[in-house]
C-alpha cells in the first residue's frame, strides 16, 4: 500500500439544469486498495464514475492522476491515464473472438494484417495471469456466459494497462458462486497494486472485499473511511439517513379459509423445465428461490403464457386458461412484473401515463375511442399511491431512475387489478428506499386478496416477504419451506442440491 494516491478528485461539482448531482466531492484513491462506492440511485455514484472515466465532464473541480491535474474530454483520455470502466451494459463485440475483444484497438499487426499467433500468445499471457484457464482465445464472445464475458472485459481492461478499474454493479448479473469468484479476483487485482472502484447495491459483497467505503447521498459524501467496523445496517444509515429493517419483516397472517386463486398442475416446457405444480391462495405471497438458470423465470413465463408449455394446466379462480398467451392471461386476471423492465417491461420513449394505462386501455375508451380524462385521473391516483418521483405523468420513462421505473411497472399491473400477480426480481437495480416501498406495495396487494408469486435472487428478500418459499433446482421444485422455517443456509443448500456431486451448477 502506497501513500500517494493514484487518483484524487477535488471539489468536484456537476449539475443538470438546476439539479445538483455532485456537491464538492473530495476523494483519494490509493493503489492496492478496493473501494466500495455506495449510494441510492440518483445519489451521484454513476455521475462520479462517468466523470472519472471521461464519459462526461464535471462543471468544476479537478481530477488528478498521480498528483497531476488531468482533463478528460473523452473515455480515451481516461484510458490513456490507466482508468477504465466496466459497466452493467457490456461493451463487447459479440460476434468477434475473445482475443480480438481483449486487444481491440491495439491488435498485434504487421502491414495491416493481424499477427494471429502473437495475439493468441498475448491472450494466453493475460488469461494465465488472471487464472482464466477456461476461455480460449478463438471463442466467439456470443457463445460465452454473462460471467465469462465479464472476465473478457476485465482482461481487456488489464491489456490496456489499466491501473484503476471501475466496476459498475458487476455482481448484479451473476449467480452466488460466480459472485464469490469475482470478489476473489477483485482482491487479487488489488493485491497486485491496482485500484478497484466497486459500485454495488449488494452491501455484503462490498463489505466482504472492500478496504474502504465511499457513501454518497444526494451528491455529497456521507462516509469515507475503512470498511472494517461497518455493517450493512450502518452503511444503509449513511445511504438513506434512516434504517429499513429487512430482517424482522413478516407477512400478514393468512386466513385458513382463503380460497385457492392460482393452481398450476404438471406444467412442462419444451426445454425440459418442469413438471411444476403449485397453488397460491388469495392474499398469499409465495416466494420462489433458486440459482440463476434453475428455471424460475421460465416457469413464470410459461404460467403467464409468454412462452409455450407442452403439458399441464393453469387455473385462475377455478377457470382454466386455455390457448394461453399474455393477452388471454390478462383477461383471466393474471399479471406479470417481468425481470427486466427496460427490455420487456416498459416502453422507454413513452410517458408514465401511456405505460401505466396500456394493459387496461379498453377501460379508458368508448367505442374504440380514447377517453383521456378518466385515464389521467386513474393514472394520477396510481402514481401517487406508488410514490413515483416525476415531474408529471407525461414524462418519458427513460428520464426516470431505476427505482421509479420499477414503481411505474408495478403501477401498470396494479391498474389491471389482477387476481394473481407474478413478480420476477422486483427489486433488481433498485435503491434501498424504493425497495422498501416496493415491499409495501407487494404486501398491500396481498392484503387486497391478490395471490402473489415472487421470484428473487436475494434470498433474504423472498424469505422475509413470503408465507411459503419454494426452491427450484434444475427446472423442478425441490423444497418448500413455511415462513421462518428455514435459515438462509438451508435455502441455499436446497438450491445447490447435488452441486458437489456432479461438479457444476445447473445455471
Partner 1 sequence: MAEHKGLLRQRSRDFGIVFAAVVLVVVLSLSTSTFLSVANMVNLLDQIIVVGILACAVTVPMIAGVFDLSMSAIAALSAIIAIHTINAFGLPAGLLASVGTGALLGLFNGVMVTYARVNSFIATLASSMVFVGLATVITDGQIVKSDDASLQLLSRPSGFLGITWGTYVFIAIAILTGILIAKTIYGRALYAVGGNAAAATLSGISVVRTHITAFMISGALSAVAGLVLASRALSAQPATGQGLEFTAIAAAVIGGVSLNGGAGAIWRSVLGVFLLQLIGNGFNLLGAPTIFQKVVQGALILFAVSLDQFLRARDT
Interface residues with partner 1 (CB under 8 A) are: 16-19, 21, 304, 306, 325-327, 329-331, 336, 338, 343-350, 354, 358-359, 361-362, 365, 368-370, 391, 395-396, 398-399, 412
| Count of residues making up the chain | 507
Smallest gap from residue 348 Cβ to partner 1 (A): 7
Which lies closer to partner 1 via its Cβ, residue 363 or residue 474? Answer: 363
Nearer to partner 1, 182 or 346 (CB): 346
In this complex, which beta carbon is closest to partner 1, that of residue 220 or of residue 348?
A: 348
Distance CA 215, CA 192 (A): 25
34 versus 430: smaller Cβ distance to partner 1: 430
Report in angstroms how near the CB of residue 395 gets to partner 1 at its nearest: 7
Quick one: 32 or 396, whose CB is closer to partner 1?
396
Least distance (Å) from partner 1 to the CB of residue 359? 5
Supply the minimum distance, in Å, between the C-beta of residue 74 and partner 1: 15
| Least distance between partner 1 and beta carbon 217 (Å) | 16
Q: How many CA atoms lie within 13 A of 74 on its CB side?
A: 1
Closest distance to partner 1 from the beta carbon of 201 (Å): 18
Decide: residue 474, CB within 10 A, 0-12 exposed, 13-18 middle, 19+ buried: middle
Copy the grid coordinates of residue 313.
Answer: 394446466
CB-wise, 111 or 322, nearer to partner 1? 322
Say how far apart CA 337 and CA 328 lie, in whole Å.
Answer: 16
Q: Do the Cβ atoms of 37 and 216 come closer than 8 Å?
A: yes
In this complex, which beta carbon is closest to partner 1, that of residue 203 or of residue 450? 450
Q: Which is nearer to partner 1, 8 or 386 (CB)?
A: 386
Calculate the CA dihedral of residues 101, 103, 108, 114 and round it to 10 degrees.
10
Count Cβ atoms below 10 Å from residue 18 Cβ, excluding itself.
5
Nearer CB in complex with partner 1: 411/494: 411
C-alpha cell of residue 434 = 424504493
3-state secondary structure 166-183: EEECCCCCCCHHHHHHHH
Query: What strands, in cross-sheet order, belong to the sheet with 260-268?
Result: 276-281, 260-268, 311-316, 319-320
Max CA distance (Å), the chain: 79
CB of 351 vs partner 1, minimal distance in Å: 10
Phi-psi sector, 3: left (phi>0), alpha (psi -120 to 50), beta:
alpha
- Bridge partner residues of 481 (DSSP): 469
Phi, psi (deg, nearest 5) at residue 476? -135, 155
What is the smallest separation between the CB atom of 16 and partner 1, expressed in angstroms? Answer: 4
User: Which are the contacts of 143, defined by CB distance < 8 A and separation ≥ 6?
Assistant: none
* Nearest alpha carbon to residue 328 among 357, 303, 358, 353: 303
Judged by beta carbon, residue 212 or residue 339, the one nearer partner 1 is 339
Instruction: Answer for the pair 8, 81: CB distance below 8 angstroms, yes or no.
Output: no
Quote the cell numbers at residue 384.
401517487
Least distance CB 213 / partner 1 (angstroms): 25
Name the minimum Å distance from CB 127 to partner 1: 34
Strands 285-290, 451-455: parallel, antiparallel or unpaired by DSSP? Answer: parallel
CB closer to partner 1 out of 335 and 433: 335
Beta carbon nearer to partner 1, 56 or 130: 56
Contacts of 268 (CB under 8 A, 6+ apart): 274, 275, 276, 309, 310, 311, 312
Least separation in angstroms between CB 88 and partner 1: 12
* d(C-alpha 344, C-alpha 350), whole Å: 14
Which region holds residue 241: left if phi is over 0, alpha if psi is between -120 and 50, else beta? left
Degrees, nearest 5: CA angle 187-168-101? 85
Which of 99, 453 has the CB closer to partner 1?
Answer: 453
Minimum distance of partner 1 from residue 390's CB (angstroms):
9
Supply the minimum distance, in Å, between the C-beta of residue 336 and partner 1: 6
Amino acid at each position: 500500500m502506497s501513500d500517494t494516491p493514484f487518483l484524487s478528485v477535488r471539489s468536484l461539482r456537476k449539475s443538470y439544469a438546476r439539479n445538483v448531482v455532485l456537491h464538492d466531492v473530495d476523494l483519494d484513491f490509493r493503489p492496492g486498495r478496493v473501494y466500495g462506492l455506495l449510494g441510492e440511485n440518483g445519489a451521484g455514484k454513476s455521475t462520479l464514475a462517468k466523470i472519472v472515466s471521461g464519459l462526461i465532464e464535471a462543471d468544476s473541480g479537478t481530477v488528478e492522476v498521480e498528483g497531476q491535474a488531468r482533463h478528460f474530454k473523452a473515455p480515451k483520455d481516461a484510458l490513456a491515464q490507466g482508468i477504465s470502466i466496466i459497466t452493467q451494459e457490456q461493451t463487447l463485440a459479440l460476434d468477434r473472438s475473445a482475443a480480438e475483444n481483449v486487444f481491440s484497438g491495439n491488435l498485434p499487426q504487421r502491414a495491416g494484417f493481424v499477427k494471429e499467433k502473437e495475439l493468441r500468445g498475448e491472450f494466453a499471457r493475460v488469461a494465465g495471469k488472471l487464472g482464466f484457464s477456461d476461455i480460449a482465445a478463438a471463442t466467439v464472445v456470443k457463445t460465452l456466459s454473462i460471467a465469462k464475458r465479464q472476465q473478457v472485459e476485465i482482461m481487456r481492461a488489464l491489456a490496456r494497462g489499466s491501473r484503476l478499474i471501475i466496476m459498475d454493479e458487476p455482481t448484479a448479473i451473476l449467480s452466488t458462486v460466480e459472485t464469490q469468484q469475482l470478489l476473489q479476483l477483485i482482491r487479487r487485482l488489488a493485491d497486485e497494486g491496482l485500484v478497484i472502484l466497486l459500485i454495488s447495491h449488494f452491501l455484503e459483497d462490498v463489505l466482504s472485499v472492500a478496504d474502504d467505503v465511499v457513501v454518497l447521498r444526494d451528491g455529497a459524501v456521507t462516509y469515507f473511511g475503512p470498511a472494517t467496523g461497518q455493517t450493512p445496517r450502518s452503511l444503509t444509515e449513511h445511504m438513506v439517513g434512516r434504517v429499513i429493517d429487512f430482517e424482522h419483516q413478516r407477512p400478514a397472517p393468512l386466513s385458513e379459509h382463503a380460497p385457492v386463486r392460482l393452481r398450476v398442475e404438471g406444467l412442462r416446457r419444451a426445454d425440459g423445465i418442469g413438471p411444476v405444480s403449485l397453488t397460491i391462495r388469495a392474499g398469499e405471497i409465495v416466494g420462489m428461490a433458486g440459482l440463476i438458470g434453475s428455471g424460475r423465470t421460465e416457469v413464470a413465463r410459461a404460467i403467464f403464457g409468454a412462452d409455450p408449455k407442452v403439458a399441464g394446466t393453469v387455473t385462475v379462480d377455478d377457470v382454466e386458461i386455455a390457448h394461453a398467451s399474455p393477452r388471454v392471461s390478462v383477461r383471466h386476471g393474471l399479471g406479470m412484473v417481468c425481470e427486466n423492465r427496460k427490455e420487456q417491461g416498459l416502453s422507454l420513449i413513452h410517458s408514465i401515463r401511456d405505460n401505466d394505462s396500456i394493459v387496461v386501455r379498453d377501460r379508458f375508451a368508448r367505442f374504440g375511442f380514447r377517453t383521456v380524462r378518466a385515464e389521467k385521473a386513474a393514472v394520477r391516483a396510481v402514481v401517487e399511491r406508488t410514490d413515483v418521483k416525476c415531474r408529471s405523468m407525461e414524462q418519458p420513462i427513460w428520464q426516470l431512475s431505476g427505482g421509479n421505473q420499477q414503481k411505474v411497472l408495478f403501477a401498470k399491473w396494479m391498474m389491471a387489478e389482477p387476481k394473481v400477480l407474478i413478480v420476477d426480481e422486483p427489486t433488481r437495480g433498485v435503491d434501498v428506499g424504493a425497495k422498501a416501498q416496493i415491499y409495501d406495495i407487494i404486501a398491500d396487494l396481498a392484503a387486497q386478496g391478490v395471490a402473489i408469486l415472487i421470484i428473487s435472487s436475494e434470498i433474504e428478500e423472498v424469505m422475509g416477504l413470503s408465507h411459503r418459499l419454494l426452491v427450484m433446482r434444475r427446472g423442478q421444485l425441490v423444497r418448500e419451506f413455511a415462513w421462518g422455517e428455514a435459515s438462509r443456509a438451508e435455502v441455499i443448500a436446497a438450491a445447490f442440491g447435488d452441486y458437489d456431486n456432479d461438479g457444476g451448477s445447473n445455471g
